[in-house]
Structure 1
């Protein structure tokens, strides 16, 4: 889009007054602009060294260009900003951006004010966006604007990734980050966040003029390129191998050695009704099977024809195993649907890996090594998070997501790595409860002038205006973020009456962009990584549960987190290990709907709540990196293990690497259990590991409010009594045996053994040494009150089975109010860290 041949001054009204935008006159404006460029606040323009005459030459060249132009902006007649517009198909982004008709590039430089004016940059950004998007090619001009705009349909920007202030301002104007790109050369090189904003994006933003736009379905995408025979063959084989391994582990069947002539020595067979499976596998401690997917062969007897080879199909395997699995007939189709979705996502993940969209393990490590800048750790953390391809290591149907369409999957699945914006509702205060940690206030949480919070000044002002336009007073409301899917599929339909009567008021999208985590309803703030995660209700069926969020549970969540955080912070042993927790500091829940007045609790009571959890980013030291612990169990499309690569990257002996990991992870969990009878849910996605040079230095626990439990009778504040679940010592020990040994270390040990990094005997010996060291360093916890106590070196422990829970009830695996009574056992397992094995 080139400069117009006839130019008129563009005028628009903002909160601060009238802003005009006119063409720059180099001879007149060079000295003024040179003063702005030389100010430290303009460092990202990389032009502070230019003299006045050099700035004049630069501006003249821009104005003479066919595809760019420079503009001077005034507020009530006073010059306050410079903006440049350009055609990204011909200038700046020619090699990195696939420009669409109507794309317009934009640069913005706001003058350093002599006297700071609150809201100036908001007003300037509003005016510039109106200028870019108004005009002949747009669907009408912005309210309160006149003159010739640029007529763009989409604005493109490429700020330096280190410029967090402009990133936040761009987000407030509706810009979406597409990806990071390298621009320029030499001293002018930069890593840029290529971002775009359409007219609809801007209109719905905190700085825009419109309401939430209706979705445009005209371009409905019916292409599902991942659903090919090759990708699905790989997905079926992977899931069948996992099913054979995990269901054998849970003793639902027992494969026998394959005695067929010519069968490999590590061959096994499973004979079902008319169908036989043959495969090769290695067996490890805790009855852990590692089945080679490529080796799986499924055959059936066909009379005189002998054995006929059948396709390897995970859905058919479940149907063939149904007499053993005993999924209730009424729920079998639901379980098969979750498996089908898991297969589809596996095929999509493989396509993205093979196409290079998802980094390989070596690519992830390279990024962790070389990333620089203030938010390098946050960027690589999220790259690793999106690269995970397995989901839960034990559950078969672990990517169910019943309720997602194909477009929903592409927009919201964690492995897509896409960014989204929360949609905000104003919820009538009398029907809403806001729970806060002891050191939090409502103003501090949401934000106030000069006090950054979850909402910017511009957002709070825009939300108040939108409420006022509907005849509401913002003082009567609290603010609740909802997932875009939840708004479209639940709030606007299931809670239509609440919206109509004004108890729920849709306000539009927030400014910050978030990335879904592996736990799918938890979002990491990409615009401001130092700000909180937000966890929202998402009423899809996934892995045996409807993924709601209970307002009733949310009331006590910050208090539970405060109690746990205080305990951790005041324990010298935990502090010495570096163990910490991410507090859930605020929670909000709406209960004004009719579903909260029905006689029985129901899933509809869990659809309008949210909580905010601290980010791990502010606690990092220079050179530290973040990874989810689930990454230790990840293998990429080439079969490379992330854990194995970390061990080799570290340059230290595998035993030393494992000791560091166990000291950071296992030791503090053992301490919490034996000292306080406190149990976490320490699976891979609930732990964040902090690395330096590939070595685990410390661990950070999250998801406290819903998943922590006190297993004994120690005193608790009345307000958090719900976390108490008194069980006997053997069941207390399962907090380590089931959740750590069987749920995490079983898989990690198998990976390191398979890769020839560390044999399982030595692996479990180091686990035993960690437990013994804790006992030696804390002799007072060896026996409690004269009883044998919790014995983590016992020879055997109860075998608690996860898939059996989901198979029993695919809609709700356990009763969250009585999880102990929901467990299913299959005998006992030999403890690989037991005394008989490692004395």
Structure 2
């Protein structure tokens, strides 16, 4: 919500003031019987008083609160020994609601008024004196950092004198999301997700219990209401969850649920604490988003790409521990988490050229790369820094690093490399970037036409340390060139509006001691980056860009963005879904059938282009690490350049089709279908019928691919159930081997295919 504060205009605002201060809910304002003239006289006197000010507050442009600030030395508090220089008195009155109450409004208003008070650097403390009987406002004061000093007599009331220092307010505000109410909502949401996804992966088996279900976990029993959708998809109602621990009612607690289920989940004992830490971090992030990212879905319908990106609140839809980010402090979270939406200026290091590898796309040169990413004055500044140290700029390559990575890793773990000038810290660049959902990738907010930058980041998140391997990335631009050449030359893919965002350059430093050890380690992935094309120059005017993860988004009140888009579009839900699957599912099926080419097309790896709120095309990204040609050399439909052979794999037949069955049907579409069904937009059977028609129409249009379509058999009655949480639970530190991901898969029987033709 957008909160502004302006000087009160007594005549303009008189009707509002009178209604607010005389409302029954404003009893502690002590003006219940005031007339309009009484209110005019009172506030005209305040406005005229050089030691007292009155302010009107607006929320999203509408008048919603009244605030007063005053000098305690010129008030009834004058002479109190506890008060002194730099104190500022404050009163705030939130308007009685004219309609449905807005969750979190009072807290947001209170924070805004406090920030307004402390905006004056001469203010040392804020002073309040609420009626001692007003327990709710006293509790809010304490939560904001106030210390209650003592009761004092004032005209008309006994007041609780309370003070809040600037430091106390900042400390309270830094953890203001960690309240019982917000944590309870975060706990219920995560417990509901855990119950649903663990049931989906057949780690637990909920038993029917009256009109709901029941799960026994250790000494606890959980009862809940849930809806079951195709693909054994469980949607658990968080508000319905009731827990009995040893027969006594207890609050749902995600960490305790995991600990209770640990023997069933198969988490190794030595790794259970790591997983519990990721669960705690996910809960903390959930509470923070409930406090700070309450963006209604309706407000995102016409929003810009980065506004949508920062409004996403769920993380990966299937993983339970999906916001681990172990290594980030609270300040780091507020600075670098994508949902915080804060601008970030990447740091740059000069890496000695002889110890660093830069690989480039076929149509990119080193000179063009740096000229496109760094303004001339920035290049001059960097070159000047190197010359001042007595080294030659031509002996170095410029490498962008995450600010956290410089502070916590390069300047410490790689201190010898910095000391011998193999790495030289050049400071922050001039461009403001926005962190993306993938946490280590940045969009250039100031110059959107410039490349994304993906950086190494040594935090533990969702089963991996998020580093980047210089050796693994050396072939990344070549892989992207090849994939792009295939996609761009294909008439079918062009007709679907399908494209890829190439990773055009990759750089990695290997001069450190860790690259001279016998065994690979995460320390070899600490100093690397890549540049990816921006979608902005390739998006036609009049189209909206959005992460596909937005289709799975529900706001804090449970409203879904995909439903809001459909309602604002000129088409019905079935037509909208047909357009979406033409932009998403059909191109992926074509790549598989025509080229044995598989992507990792989950929500954050794909951008949708919308026109009039309807999908018209898509961009795949994150190509280098997450693309595969699933055919041995002798059976390949297309030859691969030698430097691209890394992406070829010889997979079992029943695994090949999982590129669609698991990654698309189970990984994305089961969630979209359930949202539309639960929202009453499109029954699940209707959604899956359209998906089946999409594949059948592709087959009819491409009879030359009939043999491939028969081999993949995407409409088979069932497919192997590949499980994501089981991977993370087995090894919370590295859930798969990126060089052989197929061998890492864990299966739990089969899933009935909702696209299968019913006999």
Q: TM over 0.5, yes or no?
A: yes
Contact kept, 8 Å, 1:679 with 1:709, in 2: the verdict is yes
Q: Which residue of 1 aligns with 2:101?
A: none
Deviations 1:818-837 (A, max 9, x none): 1111000000000000123x
Q: Is 1:416 the counterpart of 2:340 in the alignment? A: yes
Q: Which residue of 1 aligns with 2:282?
A: 342
Q: Which residue of 1 aligns with 2:755?
A: 833
Deviations 1:203-259 (A, max 9, x none): xxxxxxxxxxxxxx9998463000000000000000000000000000011101103
* Partner residue of 2:235 out of 260, 272, 290: 290
Contact kept, 8 Å, 2:268 with 2:730, in 1: the verdict is yes
- Aligned-residue offset at 1:806: 0.2
How far, CA to CA, are the matches of 1:326 and 1:298 in structure 2? 23
Secondary structure of the 1:789 match is helix
**What is the 5 A alignment of 1:538-557?**
538-557=457-476
Secondary structure of the 1:783 match is helix
Q: Which residue of 2 aligns with 1:250?
A: 201
How far, CA to CA, are the matches of 1:506 and 1:527 in structure 2? 23
Q: Is 1:308 the counterpart of 2:259 in the alignment? A: no
Q: Is 1:808 the counterpart of 2:730 in the alignment? A: yes
- Aligned-residue offset at 1:653: 1.0
How far, CA to CA, are the matches of 1:276 and 1:397 in structure 2? 22
How far, CA to CA, are the matches of 2:382 and 2:473 in structure 1? 24
Q: Is 1:769 the counterpart of 2:693 in the alignment? A: yes
Q: Which residue of 2 aligns with 1:745?
A: 669
For structure 2, the residue ranges without an aligned partner over 5 or more in a row are 1-60, 62-166
For structure 1, the residue ranges without an aligned partner over 5 or more in a row are 1-94, 96-216, 260-264, 302-306, 369-379, 448-452
Deviations 1:385-418 (A, max 9, x none): 0000000000000000000000000000000000
Deviations 1:116-160 (A, max 9, x none): xxxxxxxxxxxxxxxxxxxxxxxxxxxxxxxxxxxxxxxxxxxxx
Contact kept, 8 Å, 1:286 with 1:829, in 2: the verdict is yes
How far, CA to CA, are the matches of 2:541 and 2:677 in structure 1? 33
Say how many residue pairs are matched: 591
With over 3 angstroms needed to count, the CA separation of the structure-2 counterparts of 1:640 and 1:712, relative to structure 1, is same
- Aligned-residue offset at 1:622: 1.5
How far, CA to CA, are the matches of 1:421 and 1:300 in structure 2? 48
- Aligned-residue offset at 1:763: 0.5
Q: Which residue of 2 aligns with 1:643?
A: 562
Q: Is 1:796 the counterpart of 2:718 in the alignment? A: yes
* Partner residue of 2:610 out of 684, 687, 691: 691
How far, CA to CA, are the matches of 2:181 and 2:682 in structure 1? 34
* Partner residue of 2:299 out of 363, 378, 391: 363
Secondary structure of the 2:327 match is coil
Contact kept, 8 Å, 1:245 with 1:289, in 2: the verdict is yes
Q: Is 1:511 the counterpart of 2:462 in the alignment? A: no
- Aligned-residue offset at 1:360: 1.5
Secondary structure of the 2:754 match is coil
Contact kept, 8 Å, 1:537 with 1:609, in 2: the verdict is yes
Q: Which residue of 2 aligns with 1:434?
A: 358
**TM-score where L is the length of structure 2:** 0.76
Deviations 1:790-813 (A, max 9, x none): 100000000000000000000000
**TM-score where L is the length of structure 1:** 0.69
* Partner residue of 1:331 out of 271, 274, 278: 271
* Partner residue of 2:418 out of 475, 489, 499: 499
- Aligned-residue offset at 1:272: 2.9
**What is the 5 A alignment of 1:79-90?**
none
- Aligned-residue offset at 1:729: 2.4
**What is the 5 A alignment of 1:613-624?**
613-624=532-543
Q: Is 1:239 the counterpart of 2:190 in the alignment? A: yes
Secondary structure of the 2:494 match is helix
Q: Is 1:322 the counterpart of 2:262 in the alignment? A: yes
**What is the 5 A alignment of 1:269-288?**
269-288=214-233
Deviations 1:648-673 (A, max 9, x none): 11021111000000000000000000
Q: Which residue of 2 aligns with 1:585?
A: 504
Range 723-732 or range 581-590, more displaced: 723-732
Q: Is 1:818 the counterpart of 2:735 in the alignment? A: no
Q: Which residue of 1 aligns with 2:322?
A: 398
Q: Is 1:226 the counterpart of 2:193 in the alignment? A: no
- Aligned-residue offset at 1:638: 1.2
Contact kept, 8 Å, 1:269 with 1:277, in 2: the verdict is yes
Contact kept, 8 Å, 1:628 with 1:687, in 2: the verdict is yes
Secondary structure of the 1:538 match is coil
With over 3 angstroms needed to count, the CA separation of the structure-2 counterparts of 1:218 and 1:531, relative to structure 1, is farther
* Partner residue of 2:590 out of 653, 671, 674: 671
